[in-house]
Chains A and B, each alone.
Chain A
């Protein structure tokens, strides 16, 4: 039989519009052949706010669909979708109810595409993942729209996206009965076992049929069948069966197509279990809280590493699902912190066996991006130990130092094994230089501030973004107070730091093209970290130190606090925060795709739209850089 020409035509239509542009002809045809063509009169609802997700994504073929959010007293138009626009994405990815109405503003034709087909594509196509991550489908919050004050917070995720995984087993054992049992007998067992359906098998194990609650309701309570009649009178014989081992998405698709919630799983024609829609969803459940608890319980490094690998899937899912990046980053931080704490516990137990309890109080701090709670993917470790000052002989002091060095080294090794690579510049707690008593740390900080040479500035940018992960809070408070005082006394330091913040290479050429690297391993790739993210991080740090804000190190939080402090630049700061969130997302997704830090982005693989958005994120950078020039009079400063 020839290919279904209806599907071919739909594929022809879809391929003109992102994100379908990045799919192959076969993939497009596959999606299109499962499409449902829906017609809506003006005023009809495609879906309503609060309704459960329909299992479909929608593309406008003809007409106009308005996305509207019902607020307490008003209906707010969120987005207008016309030909080729995609909507219904949020509910598709989150499995949550729709967050707005989709209403036909004129007679419209809409293609409904099953989510189950889409999920595997999100995994295999970074373009598609990016499309959703960047919020490009209709009704996804405009990331770069500074007027969008409302965010749609998604507090937790429903399921993990791994729909390509094959089904390995069914949940629980199959409960079955013979078809010659009476309706009453079967109903009694179903009630006892609290099950909604019963599989009926012949003595040889072959499938005879199935009865469900609905059959009892429609055929027994209506009096059509007597409760003493054999159950075979009311069973349905066309049972939907599938073998084990298919990708999970296939089962979901089958359920969607047959509008059923259960599939009988068979081996060699014999039923071995039932798979329900709920099992399918549960197979993806992976709650962050459970993960953190499991980490706190984990007794071996191996177990911790496995859990951390699971967390990567979760974080990636959050990113793709358009969960707010702040939430995702805080989740990742939470998980990393739980792991680091557990690793320190384990290491401390080992050290204690040999050398006893810690001689003085200490604090384990994370630095750099981990310190700013911005690590979405595992990068190099940057950490240090601050311990309380020791009164006593040089020998005593040395003994204490050795104790913490031993601890630091062990933790560094274990973290490396768990996938956090060693810092190439050796900024780690196991390095004697970064395992110091409080007084020494105060001297470091003062030294960098009073003599801001290049090296000192570089160290400031890493060490001033510190955060306690384990141990004493009071040591940290003392260090913070010291830092605040030093900067107040030596405010010229901020001019140096501001100058340093403007050192990064520009992201756009004179002709507003993205500047790609000209040589080396990453030739023709865009360095998103150096050219776009670092400027935003560095500027936020300077401005925050300037107003004495040392409680929040996170870049997005820093900009939001700056906006509160300086309301007349509110819009710029909020835009900077949004840009930074977007860049974090892009970098993390790129990193997940290429199993690296995600720092270098291949521009050729970015769609036109993504390039456009990337360019837009630079606008606040330019404005901030100009502001810094003026405020710190950097043109007079050399």
Chain B
């Protein structure tokens, strides 16, 4: 499995709203030959009510946008989803999100619009990205059936494993060594504010800009190379 996987969905129906159509249009024209220095990355993190994709509900989504070596603080995106009904109490212990905060968030449709407008055709990056993408896709599918994330995806956990243990298959590594906390410790990243989506997104971005130069030393030059590294 490559580090990046493109998830193909059904052909989008013409009745999608304009923002979704222009998002899909942007992703359709991704040029794999773009040098890595020109690539825009969006590092994001989600907060959910559970770690089981099937039963989890998206509480908030946060992101920062960066290039191979720069993170723009002003680009930070931090939005809460206002579900309008009950929020399960068990997540409060982990995330500190109260009902009130959730109420002041955006409607799910608005969150989708804001997020897609924000990411455009960027490479999406997250730590254990499969989970976060599934969460986002669930919400997309619920409101706009058939709509899915089409960006190139990059998982910082996989990236670190490939860099540190190039010959080992990912199943042979100890997952505990590749949690975000463990990697932050190893790469000397100051914890910002763990267990908030924005805090984790930023820490993941810091991890990314530390890992990418190491990848470039191994010959990473163009966007397309990310798939095969």
Contacts and interface: CB of A to CB of B under 8 A. Distances in A.
Interface of A: 1-2, 4-7, 9-10, 32-41, 62, 107, 109, 112, 257
Contacts, number: 60
Chain B CB within 10 Å, residue with most, of A5, A33, A39: A39
A50 to B, nearest CB: 21
A9 B78 CA distance: 16
Given A39-B213, A41-B213, A4 B76 contact: yes
Interface string B67-98: 00111111010111000000000000000000
Given A1-B78, A1-B79, A35 B69 contact: no
A38 B193 contact: no
B209 A9 contact: no
Nearest to B66: A37
A112 B74 CA distance: 12
A116 to B, nearest CB: 12
Contact of A5 (B70, B72, B198): B198
B70 A6 contact: no
B199 A37 contact: no
Interface string B188-219: 10101100101100100110011001000000
B74 A33 contact: yes
A5 B209 contact: no
Nearest to B72: A36
A106 to B, nearest CB: 11
A39 B73 contact: no
A34 B73 contact: yes
Nearest to B80: A1
B73 A7 contact: yes
Given A39-B209, A39-B210, A41-B213, A2 B78 contact: yes
A38 B213 CA distance: 12
Given A36-B70, A37-B70, A39-B70, A6 B64 contact: yes
Given A5-B193, A38-B71, 14 more contacts: A4-B73, A4-B198, A5-B202, A6-B192, A6-B198, A6-B202, A7-B73, A9-B193, A37-B205, A39-B206, A39-B209, A39-B210, A41-B213, A107-B210
Given A6-B64, A6-B198, A32 B69 contact: no
The 6 closest A-B pairs by CB, nearest first: A39-B209, A37-B71, A41-B213, A35-B73, A39-B69, A6-B202
Contact of A62 (B70, B188, B199, B205): B188
A40 B73 contact: no
Contacts of B74: 33-35, 257
B198 A9 contact: no
Counting contact residues on chain B (CB < 8 A from A), the size range is 20 to 34
Nearest to A2: B78
Interface of B: 64, 69-74, 76, 78-80, 188, 190, 192-193, 196, 198-199, 202, 205-206, 209-210, 213
B69 A6 contact: no
B206 A37 contact: yes
A393 to B, nearest CB: 83
From A37, A40, A41, name the one whose CB has the most chain B CB atoms within 10 angstroms. A37
Which of A1, A6, A40 has the most chain B CB atoms closer than 10 A to its own CB? Answer: A6
Given A37-B206, A39-B209, A41-B213, A5 B196 contact: yes
Contact of A36 (B71, B80, B198, B199): B71
Chain B: interface secondary structure?
A: mixed
B110 to A, nearest CB: 13
A112 B67 CA distance: 14
B64 A40 contact: no
B199 A10 contact: no
Contacts of A2: 78
Nearest to B193: A5
Nearest to A257: B74
B198 A37 contact: no
11 contacts: A1-B80, A2-B78, A5-B198, A6-B73, A6-B202, A7-B76, A37-B71, A37-B73, A38-B70, A40-B69, A257-B74
B69 A38 contact: yes
A39 B67 CA distance: 10
Contacts of A39: 69-70, 206, 209-210, 213
A5 B73 contact: no
Nearest to B76: A4
A257 B72 CA distance: 10
Contacts of A36: 70-73
A28 to B, nearest CB: 13
Contacts of B188: 62
B79 A33 contact: no
A593 B69 CA distance: 40
B70 A4 contact: no
A4 B72 contact: no
A40 to B, nearest CB: 7
B199 A5 contact: yes
A82 to B, nearest CB: 15
Identify which of B73, B74, B209 gathers the most chain A CB atoms within 10 Å of its CB: B73
Nearest to A109: B206
A134 to B, nearest CB: 29
Given A4-B78, A5-B198, A33 B73 contact: yes
B49 to A, nearest CB: 20
A131 B137 CA distance: 52
A40 B73 CA distance: 17
B192 A9 contact: yes
A20 B92 CA distance: 36
Contacts of B202: 5-6
A36 B210 CA distance: 15
A102 to B, nearest CB: 14
A38 to B, nearest CB: 5
B89 to A, nearest CB: 21
A109 B189 CA distance: 10
A64 to B, nearest CB: 14
Contacts of A107: 210
Contacts of A5: 192-193, 196, 198-199, 202
A279 B137 CA distance: 47
A284 to B, nearest CB: 25
A6 B80 CA distance: 17
Contacts of B79: 1
Contacts of A33: 73-74
Nearest to B217: A41
Contacts of B71: 36-38
Nearest to B105: A1
Nearest to B203: A6
Nearest to A9: B192
A31 to B, nearest CB: 10
B122 to A, nearest CB: 16
A7 B79 CA distance: 16
A10 B213 CA distance: 23
A4 B188 CA distance: 22
A365 B196 CA distance: 72
Contacts of A41: 213
Contacts of B209: 37, 39
